[in-house]
Structure 1
């Protein structure tokens, strides 16, 4: 499959972009080539697509279900009881809705931690995206449950070998308060043996830090360090309540962090200090978290909030400028998960978006990146391409209506209430 995008704007120039297979083949002012698909890029700019470095995709099923409460009450009294009723088919449709939302807002990759791994994998395969999917691991200090979780990890790891190369299997211990020390050591060793990435929540709330100090006599990053988990194959979601010593440990060990500002703000979990994290040399990518704590998967919105929050936290308007924020939403997430993507360049994976320069939020167009980060919104994304395949053209994705219908049916079964149609709102 080949795609030729004609007369599209790239870094101030009007160029032709040829995609062959899954990669950018040639970029120039006059690419003379035939292609299976030809797209008129006039009035549009080509940019890297977004990489959502932390989410729980099928939590689209819980959008608006339990809002306006703190994390631990929210989880234990509302989210976990709801999730206990989910089937693999529910997860499949919830993940398809997540993929649809991400494609329509210019995201082609997401890192996921959730139940029913195979349901999410099936949705990703069908929707044409990329994903790093983890087998969510909880044992709550229960040895029997820990053994069942270990077996599930091994079984899913084996099953993942039949997936396309767009799906990467990773390990997903939920958090230090839901996974025992013994299981964390086992996951560390399993990852080392099989060359796997580990992704976990850490230091999301002040309570988590206080509990860790009370139980182990050390802060969460120090606790993971003593367990031997701090390494370049580890990424941490949130990492809000970390001190200078912990940031230095993260940097020394090549650990990267996923910043989820909207979720952090909505749950009042705390304020991530981006300037301090970057000053210590820690790599930072962006993620939306799940739809029950965000409540959307819009990386454009996430990027704007991240930049503004960093500025007001540091009381410095020069912190986290637009281009750096765009990098955090694109190439940093790609790098975190070992993807040769996040830039528009020959030889790179052809994951990209076309932004409508005639959209009212992109006019007058003094600075493309500033417009995108601070003013645009996902409605400006016209076309989304992943792995050399057009996933959205002209704002439309194939099969949208069926996905919405099936999600409403799942929610009606799970809650006993009929989900409202759009025209009933």
Structure 2
């Protein structure tokens, strides 16, 4: 760990919008400010400094009370609509394929209203767990307008959001897993992708909303939609996302259907590029990982979901040693049943140590994956995942109960993951407080939760 060097203050007599003082500031990997401060203005980090350096004046000052302050965590794989079927009894003990085939008929009930509600709840839950940027992979489209509903919820809350326009084209009738009611044809998918990018994708610095394309998986989409999505992404300069090498059954499926293993198929359809990131990547060979890394592909580890389903999990530190960019994801609420990036970061560290020994992964490694790694997967690493001057003002001040922290006197970053549970005390996105003293700043939340309960009961056919 190195202490950060002095950063320039605001020019002249200008005041910062917000100054957070009395914090252990983790500005970037290997750059920390014990007892430090951070100044934010116009949605950006203006300056960071030590306790012995005079901070700039500010219109609003927050005393962090000695707490840990980090960049906002970045969630690189989620299915927010699935919180409508959280802990759904008939699906909780099956394999991945059993779980999917049980839940697909329920998800056929998605519409704009319950998609908006589930996205709103999902984002608030992420904010409470210290997440300030998230992608979301919505691949079930029984009705039009679902991505629009997601963008509306994210915009209303002020959350940094990458909506992944997912798709499925291969139903049970075509040898896939999902029912015909939740798949779409190639032309419908690509026309909607064109519309969504034109309406919502913002490539400019400081963007709050971006669009990516996400054919669901090798066993649920046609080769044609994979190729078309890659060509579209290159033309419009957007990102690509899919599930890959999540289950041994995927190997069998790809060998029978495509005559090759999943990674080779991924390469064959034009996805091996630096605009793509994939979820899970549990069972590739070292040679396959090296090829993906050389192509610039990123990968998401979903620790809690993988453990919940019992299907194995990525060796994150080994992947990184092979050159692969690795981020973290909550995955769908129906498998994980929780959307806390703090918990995913802790579980990533514990899985790494379980697999490779106690010296193999430290808290700072896990934090780096949850911030810089996630931002790189989403192509947002120039502005998100660190707190260097000029970065987006996406900041989390963490709270752990004093009883849990008793005796943790030396290293606040290790204590953050080794004790706990921790929660976001303050979460800021673009310099705006969205969680304040542990509570979401969302006036509509009580009404949304009431409506969400009604929607969840209806989709589970309990109404």
TM-score bucket (shorter structure): over 0.9
SS of residue paired to 1:293: helix
Instruction: Find the partner of 1:145 among 151, 170, 185.
Output: 185
Query: Is 1:126 paired with 2:153?
Result: no
SS of residue paired to 1:289: coil
SS of residue paired to 2:351: helix
Matches within 5 A, 1:4-403: 4-10=19-25, 11-28=32-49, 29-35=53-59, 37-65=60-88, 66-76=91-101, 78-114=102-138, 115=140, 116-140=146-170, 145-161=185-201, 165-314=207-356, 316-339=357-380, 340-356=383-399, 359-365=402-408, 366-379=410-423, 381-398=424-441, 399=443, 400-403=445-448
State the 1:416 CA deviation. Answer: 4.2
State the 1:12 CA deviation. Answer: 4.9
State the 1:235 CA deviation. Answer: 0.3
The CA distance in 1 between the partners of 2:58 and 2:233, in whole Å, is 44
Aligned to 2:453: 408
CA contact (8 A) 1:104 1:378 kept: no
The CA distance in 2 between the partners of 1:388 and 1:338, in whole Å, is 21
Which consecutive unaligned segments of at least 5 residues does structure 2 have?
1-15, 26-31, 141-145, 175-182
SS of residue paired to 2:123: helix
The CA distance in 1 between the partners of 2:388 and 2:318, in whole Å, is 31
The CA distance in 1 between the partners of 2:302 and 2:217, in whole Å, is 16
State the 1:92 CA deviation. Answer: 0.5
The CA distance in 2 between the partners of 1:322 and 1:44, in whole Å, is 16
SS of residue paired to 2:447: helix
What CA RMSD, in Å, does the superposition of the two structures yield over aligned residues? 2.0
Report the more deviating stretch, 142-151 or 164-173: 142-151
CA contact (8 A) 1:16 1:30 kept: no
The CA distance in 2 between the partners of 1:162 and 1:326, in whole Å, is 27
Cα deviation 1:9-59 (Å, max 9, x = unaligned)? 323522332110111112233213131x32122232211111011001121
TM-score scaled by length of structure 2: 0.85
CA contact (8 A) 2:214 2:242 kept: yes
The CA distance in 2 between the partners of 1:172 and 1:59, in whole Å, is 17
Report the more deviating stretch, 341-350 or 256-265: 341-350
The CA distance in 1 between the partners of 2:38 and 2:422, in whole Å, is 23
The CA distance in 2 between the partners of 1:332 and 1:248, in whole Å, is 17
State the 1:417 CA deviation. Answer: 2.8
SS of residue paired to 2:57: coil
TM-score scaled by length of structure 1: 0.92
State the 1:278 CA deviation. Answer: 2.2
Which consecutive unaligned segments of at least 5 residues does structure 1 have?
419-425
CA contact (8 A) 1:174 1:201 kept: yes
CA contact (8 A) 1:18 1:31 kept: yes
CA contact (8 A) 1:140 1:179 kept: yes
Cα deviation 1:191-221 (Å, max 9, x = unaligned)? 1101110010001000001111222221111
State the 1:347 CA deviation. Answer: 1.4
Distance change (3 Å), C-alpha of 1:275 and 1:383: closer
Distance change (3 Å), C-alpha of 1:99 and 1:213: same
Distance change (3 Å), C-alpha of 1:279 and 1:406: same
State the 1:411 CA deviation. Answer: 1.6
